Amino acid sequence: MNVVFSLMATPTKCIETVLHCWHKNTADKDLSAEKELNVFCELHRDKIPDSERPDISVTAKVFLSTYDPEAVRQAINRTLDRLGLTDIETLIVSLDPEISKAPPADVDPCMELPSAKISIGTAESLLKVWPILEEFVKSNKVFRLGVCDMSAEEMELLLSSVKIPPKVNQLFLGSTCRLTDELQNFAKIHDVQLTTHQDSSDILRTDWLVSIISKEFSPDDATGWRPLWLVRYSETFKHRGVIRSKGYTLLAERTAV
Q: Which tens digits make up the pLDDT trace of 62-85?
A: 999 998 999 999 999 999 988 889
User: Per-residue pLDDT averaged across 167-193, rounded?
Assistant: 86
**125 or 46, which is more confident?**
125
Q: Rounded to whole angstroms, how far apart are CA atoms 61 and 170?
A: 10
In eight-state DSSP terms, residue 141 is S
Q: What percent of the chain has pLDDT over 70?
A: 82
Question: If you compute the radius of gyration of the chain from its CA atoms, what whole number of angstroms results?
Answer: 18
Q: Rounded to whole angstroms, how far apart are CA atoms 183 and 21?
A: 44
Residue 112 has pLDDT above 70, yes or no: no
Outline where the chain has alpha helix (H).
3-25, 69-83, 123-126, 130-138, 152-159, 181-189, 206-216
The reported pLDDT for the residue numbered 200 is: 78
Residue 46 exposed, middle or buried by CB count within 10 Å (0-12, 13-18, 19+): middle
Mean pLDDT value across the chain: 84
The reported pLDDT for the residue numbered 136 is: 98
The reported pLDDT for the residue numbered 1 is: 35
The reported pLDDT for the residue numbered 4 is: 42
Query: Are the C-beta atoms of 244 and 235 separated by less than 8 Å?
Result: yes
Which of 82-96, 163-177, 184-198 is the least confident region?
Answer: 163-177
- Helix (H) or strand (E) run with residue 251 in it: strand 242-254
The reported pLDDT for the residue numbered 77 is: 96
User: Which long-range CB contacts under 8 A does 137-140 form with residues at least 24 apart?
Assistant: 137/164, 138/164, 140/87
Query: Are the C-beta atoms of 133 and 93 separated by less than 8 Å?
Result: yes
Q: Rounded to whole angstroms, how far apart are CA atoms 244 and 234?
A: 8
The reported pLDDT for the residue numbered 101 is: 60
Q: Rounded to whole angstroms, how far apart are CA atoms 78 and 35?
A: 18
The reported pLDDT for the residue numbered 12 is: 85
The reported pLDDT for the residue numbered 3 is: 42
**42 or 172, which is more confident?**
172
